[in-house]
Structure 1
Amino acid sequence: MKVRSKATLALTERLRGICMALPDVTEQIAWGEYTWRAPKIFAMTDTYHHGSAHFSVHLPAPPGAQAALVDADPERFFRPPYTGGKGWIGVVLDTDPDWDMVESLVKTAYELIRA
């Protein structure tokens, strides 16, 4: 398990609350990161993976959403490594995130995985 700062742990707790409030969700550590599943992964933390500058969450997104979000606000959204080619979106969490937006994106990701 990676060493996390108090700030990163607090952000993880807030994200955990959003994810675990959804029905039939489990939490599992994979690749040294927190993942939330229903039963497939719909949210995964990224703790400065491969030198990333930010703590973030990776989420599946509907077609076109990744490009729209990254184009609209590249400081908050990015195309994550590995899953970005499948349309997943990276959401930066350690620079004052819009938690209403994070919650909406998590719920959308959950619904996509459950469909």
Structure 2
Amino acid sequence: MAQTMTYGAEKRQGKRIWIQVNGARGKRRYPACYNRHDFPSFDSFVSDYLTQHVPSEKGGCYRKIMTPDGGTPLANLDDLEEGKTYIVATKSEPFHKLRYLTHFYNKLYDR
């Protein structure tokens, strides 16, 4: 379900996704909501918003969003799907293949 944000008289449709930190086995997921007006580019969403709102155990800025089932890097906000879980990582950090909580949560919320 997309979230609608109201700014003055204007309404903007936002997408809600879930974020999990790369290599954080069994750790919590963080909700993130974005729209094209607030984040015109993929880099601004990842480096500005996610770095500020998703705690990093290793420090540094997030630079990558990946799929949890193989670590496929995404390069465009249009690639993100509503309600899905994605993994964030720093620029040089390789994808840690773990059994993330995504399948459980996606089935739970897709009902």
TM-score > 0.5, shorter chain as reference: no
TM-score normalised per structure 1: 0.29
In proportion to residue count, which structure has more helix? Answer: 1
Choose between structure 1 and 2 for higher RCO, CA contacts under 8 A separated by at least 6 residues.
Answer: 2
TM-score (norm 2): 0.30
- Structure with the greater alpha carbon radius of gyration: 2
